[in-house]
């Protein structure tokens, strides 16, 4: 488990993640923003990355009102050099990463046979390769400390197929397999690897079209699931969560 403190001295409320350092990829908008804000509210210091400097700065300012310490960096998490810089500068500023949320993702939809090699590379590199690169970068420090959480944001599309979802589903099925194997590789070191599979979420994500807002998840629903994962007891971990809207579309 991550280090914990009994109370938040300014509010008197419990801060279950006091002393923790969280890194959230794709933290400048949508689900990543909601997760970062939730972890900050729980007492964790938070590092976020993204590709849009203005959006990143806006979320950083929000986080500064909640988190003990904050760091942000423009980074492309599909590039090993960017990932190495991000993790090194996060740990130099905040301390060793104890919670990693691999959230960066994008979707390109339509029949696979109509998509380009560039489309394939964009989707698979962002949704799957980034999980490998960032997890690989933080794992050695977590192993040395004998604890940590790695939480991979997948999708129910990683469990189900649908017309036009070839590239997206392939990337998310890959996240499922990678997460399961990482969990087995790292559990003996006290590191918990979990995967969260949301259904449709009401964000600016380039999905398959407009949805009834009453029949989709919110970004805060996913953030709540992350909060559940990082507050498990010392003898257990939530390996996989399927998150669905209450009302069926």
Catalytic residue set: 168
Cβ partners under 8 Å of residue 194, min gap 6: 149, 150, 151, 152, 179, 183, 229, 237, 238, 239, 240, 241
Bridge partners, 24 (sequence order): 48, 101
Beta 148-153 vs 70-74: how paired, if at all? unpaired
Sign of CA dihedral 64, 66, 71, 76: negative
Contact 144, 189 (CB under 8 A): no
Tokens for 203? Answer: 């964000």
């Amino acid at each position: 488990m991550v280090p914990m403190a009994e109370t938040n001295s300014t509010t008197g409320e419990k801060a279950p993640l006091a002393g923790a350092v969280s890194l959230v990829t794709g933290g400048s908008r949508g689900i990543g923003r909601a997760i970062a804000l939730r972890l900050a509210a729980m007492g964790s210091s938070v590092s976020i990355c993204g590709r849009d400097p203005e959006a990143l700065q806006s979320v950083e300012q929000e986080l500064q009102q909640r988190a003990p310490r904050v760091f942000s960096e423009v980074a492309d998490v599909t590039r090993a050099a960017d990932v190495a810089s991000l993790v090194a500068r996060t740990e130099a500023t905040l301390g060793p990463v104890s919670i990693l949320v691999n959230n960066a993702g994008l979707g390109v939809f339509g029949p696979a046979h109509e998509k380009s090699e560039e489309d394939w590379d964009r989707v698979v590199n962002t949704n799957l390769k980034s999980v490998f690169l960032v997890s690989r970068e933080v794992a050695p420090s977590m192993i040395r400390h004998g604890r940590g959480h790695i939480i991979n944001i997948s999708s129910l599309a990683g469990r189900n197929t649908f017309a036009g979802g070839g590239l997206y589903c392939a990337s998310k099925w890959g996240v499922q397999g990678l997460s399961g194997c990482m969990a087995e590789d790292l559990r003996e070191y006290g590191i918990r690897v979990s995967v969260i599979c949301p259904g449709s979420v009401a964000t600016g994500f380039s999905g398959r079209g407009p949805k009834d807002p009453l029949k989709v998840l919110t970004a805060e629903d996913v953030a709540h699931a992350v909060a559940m994962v990082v507050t498990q007891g010392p003898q257990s971990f939530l390996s996989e969560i399927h998150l669905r809207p209450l009302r069926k579309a």
